Structure 1
């Protein structure tokens, strides 16, 4: 079967690129190995409840942000509820820190908990940087550069505010905290480290200022809940693709991508598809395994990260009765002594919205819990019940649940993630940020400079739905500019 573009995987980066290319009239096929769309930003059904696969928070709808751009271009409508309070953080000293959506309210809260020293200038600086980063992201769609045309396009789009950001690529978040006299504030540095793990997958000594400031400020932009779960995002794009004459083919596990004289041959066990162009929406590690082309594999090798530089996840899915009194949906819980077996010092909790009746029964709510597992290929969780018990005990102690109200509980290790998503090592959250990898050194959207491209959370700009949305925008933009 012949298509203009085949996309591997239905993660949000792939779906973004697919929607933008379909909007230009190209015939698109998305090949997805699972039975649901969305990849690591989806929802699955178990025992009558709908649980989140991975991502639970949504940003990117403000002006100059990628998701807003996608919706404006395509006209896609999403089933969203705006959150008044994005998150609460339960600190080791038992203080509860509220991540207010308003900058001024947030600074007052940060000063209340961490002390006044340095907080206001630090957060005003981070917020200013984050605004510049998002504005620049849609102005510089040729970034990172991989040919002369990219560089020429970038020069034409240069604005003064972009140049002012450049030094931030050479400074780490550790440097920024030192600048504002905050490095000796242990409660604050611990808070920053665990917050950075959510969106940058690393700590302040490694994350550069541009990514770090943006990561820390995501609660200061519009935060939304998707009715029915994150699968609502993917379903909205799936419907758009169908309306444009394109499709998503489920239960199609791609095992080979073979370049041909005219386009590409994509093999899915017994089925073979042909296309003029191909976009891989899976990780670079997995893309490397699929491409039957030595030159592509040689180009990808320097960008691949081993397990010791990646994170897996331990996740829990819980259904509760009598949980309607919890008003804030998202919580980060600090565990200074570390969780058993894996040593993680925080876990993230997301409740379903009390107004969302589609994910649980009357008077019930579901919740997703996740925590990082470093070096997932070697860290084996032999008895996950110990980890479950530590998390439930901590949450019960904080008044976040009553174990007698648990109607259903299941948990998953990185091994389960490998089974569900087919991602190398069970990697979640994308490639972590590292100080020795500058933004322009990250893998750009082109794979072979012929017609193969890549997007997703292991290429620029990396993590989160808003980040992979931008990667899909860039991949679609480069494909169209290269060939049309």
Structure 2
């Protein structure tokens, strides 16, 4: 059967694109190598428990944000439970910092922990910039430019507030802290660095102001928990795609993409599919290996990042006996200034299931997802998994986040396991890191071959996080329709 659009992978960017295209009457086929939809924004079942595959937090549902736009556009309903406190951060000096959801409360907390000096103007500036970035992201769906029509449409959609954002592309977050004279506050610098790492995959000297200010403020937007796990974010999207006459085929690992006179042929481990258009929702490194056309390969090569520029993750899935007085906060970042032994990660992120969520664990039990970064995963091959597990658990027990006697089971995974299960090159997670030498307009845009192949996902502009990959799917659809309809 020949489809209008074949989409490689079922990550949230791919599902966004598939839903929007199927709404417009196009026949779409999503090809996914795994047995669940959602890629790194879903859940998996093991021994009766539901664990998060990658992402554990959900934002992007406020006004002018991509996930809100997508759900409004399609009418898809997702079960959501808003978090009153998005996160707590456990600092190296023993203090616990609460990332409140409202700007006024957050500034008061930041002043309590870091001192009053310039915290208010810094955070007011970052929040204001983040609001304008989100607003502009949906207004400028032809960005980055890769043909004259993009440039023309972007000019027509330009607003005064967007022009004011331009200097932020040339400044790093280190420059911003210097402007507010905050670089001498080492506790604050460490906090910002580790917060940037979980949102931008990089540190102060590399992350530009536009992305950094937005990343630091994600807790100041509505944060949600999805009962039953993030699988219940992607399942309604899957059902919407199927209801509109399109297909999602599981266990279909795309191994090659050939260019035909009137479209593309995608060869999987089981069969072949033909389509007029194709969208790759898998990482750029993996996409390069699929396309047989040498011109396409040459176009893509300048945008690739190698292992030494990427991050993998050491992850753990815990089953715990639920505590009677379980704290309200589900998400915690714990600083580890000495680094996790063997892998060097300077912070550990742990997310708990909601105590009342009996879909993920039976009553009286709960699950937790733990992750820490592994920089240059190809170089840092994990050989002693058990000692890393013990070191991480020791930190979490010491900070009072878990009790050793409450642990019912532990399952750990290395970047090697990520390669095995997700097929992602190097086992990289979180998308491409931000680097100051790569300006927003230099990131890979949605066009792959300027013919009929497009891109979305966490390694292209805008990339990272569920809101970012959702926006990448929106942009891929916009450019496909702009070019051909």
TM range (shorter): over 0.9
Separation in 2, partners of 1:32, 1:79 = 24
State the distance in 1 between where 2:323 and 2:301 align.
48
Aligned to 1:76: 76
So what's the TM-score if we normalise by structure 1? 0.99
Mapped partners of 2:317, 2:411: distance in 1:
5
State the shift of 1:462 in Å. 1.8
TM-superposed CA distance for 1:159, in Å, is 0.3
Q: Which residue of 2 aligns with 1:405?
A: 406
Query: 1:243-300: CA deviations, max 9, x gaps?
Result: 1011210000000011100010000123000000000000000000001110000000
Q: List aligned pairs for 1:275-354, cutoff 5 A.
A: 275-323=275-323, 325-354=326-355
Whether 1:226 aligns to 2:221 is no
Displacement, 1:308?
Answer: 0.1
Counterpart-to-counterpart distance in 1, 2:275 and 2:300: 22
Q: Could you say which residue in structure 2 is the equivalent of 1:11?
A: 11
Show CA shifts across 1:327-367 (max 9, x none): 10000000011110011110100000122110001111100
Question: Is contact 2:356–2:363 with CA below 8 Å preserved after alignment?
Answer: no
Separation in structure 2 between the aligned mates of residue 99 and residue 48 of structure 1, nearest angstrom = 33
CA displacement at 1:233 relative to structure 2 = 1.4
Give the TM-score normalised by the residue count of structure 2: 0.99
Q: Distance in 2 between matches of 1:427 and 1:284?
A: 11
Per-residue deviation, residues 195-237 of structure 1 (Å, max 9, x unmatched): 0001100000000000000000000001011111111111111
The separation in 2 between residues aligned to 1:270 and 1:354, in whole angstroms, is 42
Q: How does 1:91-130 map to 2 (within 5 A)?
A: 91-130=91-130
| 2:173 paired residue number | 173
Instruction: Output the CA distance in 2 between the equivalents of 1:357 and 1:81.
Output: 14
Q: Is contact 1:20–1:476 with CA below 8 Å preserved after alignment?
A: yes
Matched residue SS, 1:106: helix
What is the distance in 2 between the residues matched to 1:322 and 1:447?
A: 48
In structure 1, list runs of 5 or more residues that go unmatched: none
Question: Displacement, 1:326?
Answer: 2.1
Between the aligned partners of 1:347 and 1:9, the Cα distance in structure 2 is 28
Cα deviation per residue 1:459-478 (whole Å; 9 max; x = unaligned)? 00121000000000000010
Match of 2:239 in 1: 239
- Contact 1:351/1:366 (<8 A) preserved: yes
**What is the CA deviation profile of residues 374-420 of structure 1, one whole-angstrom value per residue up to 9, with x for unaligned ones?**
00011011111111111111111111111111111100000000011
Q: Distance in 1 between matches of 2:356 and 2:103?
A: 27
Q: What's the CA shift string for 1:304-337, capped at 9, x where partnerless?
A: 0000000000000000003351210000000011
Q: Which runs of 5+ in 2 are unaligned?
A: none
Match of 2:467 in 1: 466
Cα distance in 1 for partners of 2:216, 2:47 equals 36
Say if 2:281 is the partner of 1:265.
no
Who is 1:476 aligned against? 477
Q: What's the RMSD between the two structures over aligned residues?
A: 0.6
Per the alignment, residue 452 of structure 2 pairs with 451
Q: Distance in 1 between matches of 2:337 and 2:452?
A: 49
The answer for the alignment partner of 1:431 in structure 2 is 432
CA distance in 1, matches of 2:460, 2:392: 32
Secondary structure of the 1:79 match is coil
Please name the residue that 1:26 is paired with. Answer: 26
CA distance in 1, matches of 2:244, 2:323: 42
Q: How does 1:135-150 map to 2 (within 5 A)?
A: 135-150=135-150
Report if aligned partners of 1:323, 1:365 keep a CA contact under 8 Å in 2. no
Pairwise CA distance, 1:85: 0.4
Partner of 1:441: 442
